[in-house]
Chains A and B, each alone.
Chain A
């Protein structure tokens, strides 16, 4: 049974309007483990992440997070599990109109009661939380921006605020959904280091990546293709042929709303040096 930050998926299936996004996904991750998830656009990587916070309905299978059956929890229990899961996204998903400090403080939102919520809403975070927010922002080099409106920050700075929110939350499981796709190489390294630090502090780390070279820096790689796990192993085990199979038929100009076979063209071999989708040069 997975411990605090670990999770397990057993034969998980998710469909959107009858179209399979995940099929028969079985995956187990231990607490403190770190792994990268790779796969073409539409392979089901984001759906996999949404499953881990019960963000989508299952059509089959079982999801266990921290040893608890996620899809059979009461509302209160679900909130408790979600508090232990921190997420960071390609599009940052911060509230643009709020000050940077409040966005970072929202890492703690699940811990606030009704009164605490209203107090934070009206007068801002309490002194203890404010102090943690300041420290978290200092760790990402944004302490002077604590009162700035989030929308006024650059993309890279917003991603650092998202990291600060994670630092405030102190989750047992970190889900990073293509966190480097919209930031510059310097921010990529900075965010990457912060995520690894959270991992070193004990959180399980799951990073969804388009950049295969970056993914190879993780001790474990999981590859999805058409909603199925097609590779699960160390970077050394990932051969050129396996990589080709993972991305075979991937047309970056074609919108793939589902992982079903949509491209009947003969596939061309993809060279590693060319990258996968134009973002691998970070």
Chain B
């Protein structure tokens, strides 16, 4: 018997690109419309960018040769060290704060047969911790830095706190999602043999999510070291503060040294973190 494919004579499997249909065509039109509207709103002009290159050329040529004097190198080393310390402590504190909030913000596998009161009792810490994590995460770290600088004064401490709070929000959200995404059958099996919520979490969910959590924390540290470089722009310590001062003094050779050192350190941390994450056993 002929299959439906051979009935027409020419089997039409189709290529990788979907065939025309009105739905995707409308989506493409909407994307094009949004692109034009955004370019108009932001006065996006490539002609202007490439025709007025004078100031950019002056800025870049002013950076060379970079300032490699002992004093600048010392300032750079101090700035880099402070940035590193801020990013590391920010990620660590963030992870410590994120952990319990993520645990509370993880949905239960099953509440079969539970009374309405029990369900409400379980929902309260879940929604509360999710709300706190959302607040921590939705405020950008530079805004947290402004808040802490106003409250505590200038320096790396408010910057570290800003990174810690934002990291807690990001890590908490990602960890709770990791905890929810682990295979639930081993957890259900534990609950079926009388394990409590804490026991199912400690022996069922956590071991399955631990390598993911470590990987996420390392990645957050990578993000923090990039963020820590700009927190100095609002007076929250780190190498960004030195870059801003040098920019304001038009000391472009020093800016070159500071920016170059920042790029090197960010690349080193990225590579190190990626290598460690690659070795994590799932």
Contact = CB atoms under 8 A, between A and B. Distances in A.
B270 to A, nearest CB: 27
Nearest to A165: B193
Nearest to A118: B202
Contact of B192 (A85, A102, A111, A112): A85
Interface residues of A, number: 39
B181 to A, nearest CB: 15
Interface string B175-193: 0000000000110111111
B207 interface: yes
Q: Which 4 A-B pairs have the closest CB atoms?
A: A110-B194, A83-B194, A82-B194, A93-B189
A55, A98, A112: which has the most chain B beta carbons within 10 Å?
A55
B193 A82 contact: yes
B275 to A, nearest CB: 21
What interface size band does chain B fall in?
Answer: 20 to 34
B106 to A, nearest CB: 16
Interface stretch (B45-53, B110-118, B125-133, B224-232): B110-118
A80, A87, A169: which has the most chain B beta carbons within 10 Å?
A87
A93 B114 CA distance: 24
B179 to A, nearest CB: 13
Given A102-B203, A107-B193, A117-B199, A96 B185 contact: no
B199 A95 contact: no
B194 A109 contact: yes
Interface of A: 53-58, 70-71, 75, 78-83, 85-87, 89, 91, 93-98, 102, 106-107, 109-112, 114, 117-118, 121, 169, 171
A75 B192 contact: no
A262 B180 CA distance: 33
Interface string B194-208: 111011001110011
Contact of B193 (A85, A94, A114): A85
Contacts of B195: 79, 106, 109-110
A171 B189 CA distance: 14
A87 B195 CA distance: 13
Contacts of A93: 185-186, 188-189
Given A54-B113, A80-B194, A102-B203, 4 more contacts: A81-B194, A93-B186, A106-B190, A110-B195
A98 B113 contact: no
A107 B113 CA distance: 23
A111 B196 CA distance: 10
A169 B118 CA distance: 28
Nearest to A54: B113
B195 to A, nearest CB: 5
A117 B202 contact: yes
Contact of B203 (A54, A56, A87, A95): A95
